[in-house]
Chain A
Amino acid sequence: MSRLWPIPALILAALLPWLPGLPLFWVSIATTIGIAGIIAIGLVVLTGIGGMTSFAQASFMGFGAYASAIVSARYGFSPWLGLPLAIAVSGIAAAAIGAITLRLSGHYLALGTIAWSVSLYYLFGNLDLVGRNDGISDIPPLSLLGLKLIDVRWSAALIWCAVVLVAVATNHLLDSRWGRAIRALRGGAVAAASFGVDTARARMLAFVYAAMLAGLAGWLYAHLQRAVNPTPFGLVAGIQYLLMTVVGGAAYVPGALLGATLVALVNDRLQDWLPKLLGANGNYEVIVFGFILVGVLQLAPEGIWPHLARLRPRFRRIVPAPALPQRDKPARGTQVLQAEHLQKRFGGLAAVSDLSFAVAAGEILALIGPNGAGKSTSFNLLTGVAHPTSGSVRVTGRTVTGWPARRIASLGVARSFQHVKLVASMTVIENVAIGAHLRGTASPIAAVLRLDRAEEARLFAEAARQLDRVGLLEHASQPATSLALGQQRIVEIARALCLDPSLLLLDEPAAGLRHAEKQALADLLRRLRAEGMAVLLVEHDMDFVMNLADRLVVMDFGTVIAEGPPALVRQNPAVIEAYLGGVA
């Protein structure tokens, strides 16, 4: 699709409601769909892409609606002033609620939003400020150059122009440095943090962005309906917005609009048919919606949109761009990483009991040992994913014990994972670009306004350069998980190199590689060593290690049993016993 699609879309949105002969009924439905669609697009970012489920979006819509209603109906300000206010109030409410709720993970967060939604509903219904259960009426309509926009066609035009702008802004946000950070939350928060992504901030960004969209929808709703009360901001409404997103396809912006359209149309028909069918009046459509929600989750959990559209990963043209600045690297031979008497206990079990070693710039050190020797735990201690019970870790001379993973990453420590952690929904090159997160500075606002293009070009040029270095550039635009597992490990190395590291930690990089690929990997690591990189690797493939490493550290039962050059370690009786179980 052309990048200019928003312009015809805006013109269409502004003009279509005035089409002669178009029944007002459809125009009116379109306003409902548009308002719901804006909220559902927020949920795409939050739930479908960021992986955080919220049942409280209707409450944030309420914040926006009430904010504008109060200043325009009570204090006589222009409704246009209510727009920034509505968005700001929803955003601030989300930031406050998020600050005490977003640390919750998975289903706890979802339950937390249910609690908030119920609590806020009763708050709206009992506060004099927002008119208790009667709400606020006589809200002025929007006006333009003295013309009051009371005609529903004006509302539809305005709402759908807002939908187009929101869709554009959301696409811009998702295709940016912070957008990749939000998408990385799903692929593994540990991996994202290891590349310097502030995952708490990424979560908050998605939460506040979704709430601001809900606030915008609330503003549109308040001046369209011209009266607000707590009912449309309750939990049932919140569930319906999530329903729309799930039905349409939670990970896709067009899916949100599709879901909003389907739910609004079905809702309209049901409100007509069900009372006739059942002979009574009431909100019986929720019965059908409940069935639809469960049915979709059972039969097509990814929603309808991916079944309609042929989704291809977007091909990204790499434009030449000035190289990114590089950090000052430690001189060859200086100590980059020092671990001193590291100990990690899980209850009574000491996974690592006394580990000390150092890696210098321009050296490849291999950490080996039988299964369960404590190698992976050691990796986690060194990178800040876990914290040692005692002992210390120093990186380029600074004590980093107790630092979070992203701070350690900022010192130039990059890693790969034993179990590959790539984001399945992103292409190879987008995954690699996450590694360069810390080398960019563009804010989410810059991303929405597309002021980040020059920096993005540089980040992607760097990602392409690292992909080329590891020999996978031809796969750049493929979905990351379409590669063979061994190649995915190499993608992780490219991602790590994007960080411009002075220390590279690789967890079993050669596993799953063919012979020629192993040779290529060894050549790459030798080149990096020649450039002055410090490399620490955990590896089971002894041929690979013995031919490559300068020194070996052998672990067993959480402690070092031997250390030295490969030739010496190979003869060490303690090592032979650990691997072969002693002299038979």
Chain B
Amino acid sequence: MTAILSVENMGIAFDSRSEKNKQVHVLHDIDLAIEQGEIIALVGESGSGKTTLGKVMVGLFEPTSGSLKYKGKEISKLNKKEFRQYRLDVQMVHQDSFAALNPNRTIFQSLSLPLIQNKIVKNTQEAMNLLIDYFNEVGLLPADQFLSKYPHQLSGGQRQRILLARALSVKPKVIVADEPVSMVDVSLRIAIIDLMTRMNQKYNISFVYITHDLATARYVAKNGRLAVMYLGEIVETNQIKAAIDYPTHPYFQALIAAVPEHIGTAGDTEIKDLPLRTLDMPSITNPPSGCRFHTRCPYYKERCKLEAPELRSYKGGLVSCHFAEEIDVLHRKQQKLTDLINTPVTMN
């Protein structure tokens, strides 16, 4: 099955601002294929390159090495008409819903312009009807009230739904959502994520969900995949349930350990150290040699500094680590011990 969107061996290098003749590899050797109708969560901290990868997918940045392919064809080789189609088919929902809308135009003015420009509708009346339909779909009722407002008159959650409606209105095949709920109230986040899942099921739109929040990633990509990024590289991918229950890459294991515990077990227990050698992430301008994670990896060995690991198959997913098997055994032993000492005392 050809993936609808894929990056192969892709890298992006920018010229360094501080040093001449040096390049900063913001993305390095990325291989990722997105099937039609799948949801994939792209997880990583700031500086991991996940947002840049998202922007490459929608065509805002051109890869400096490797390729980006849409429907099997390289983007740089598409003719004008095909490129236009690609542009409409791969849409983006931004993180900051306020910045993503023109503050001096009403919602209707902002959203109808691309529809008319791309001849999806013939006139403003048709645009209005189409938008009203989509607004109903995303739960913005009564639709016409929202259309005549300015962005600053709406709440964050409402604006985020508008961004989603805007993306949907051009009938895309892929939506790249960059931290879509991080600026929305916590009690409303699930509603928006549910909306995206519904759109995925109803229209078979693929979603690339970029986030640093593992919990919402798990919620959105229930049956999908997860890809973990570190310093511009993908270090692990797997089906999401398997990934979270049995993390393989040491960085991913640390990320999971860092996510706050289930609420029911709240308490004043001491906060243990994370399985990381140092807190601070190395700079992307000067990445560590060999395996990029070796400076922080608790299982670090000499080989890690000298040789960069390949992204290889392991237990149904892909992982980029020399010692994945040994670490797996160790980690599980530790997990069992931790579970044992943390089991609450049962009283009758």
Is B one of A's binding partners? no
Residues of B within 8 A of A (CB): none
Residues of A within 8 A of B (CB): none
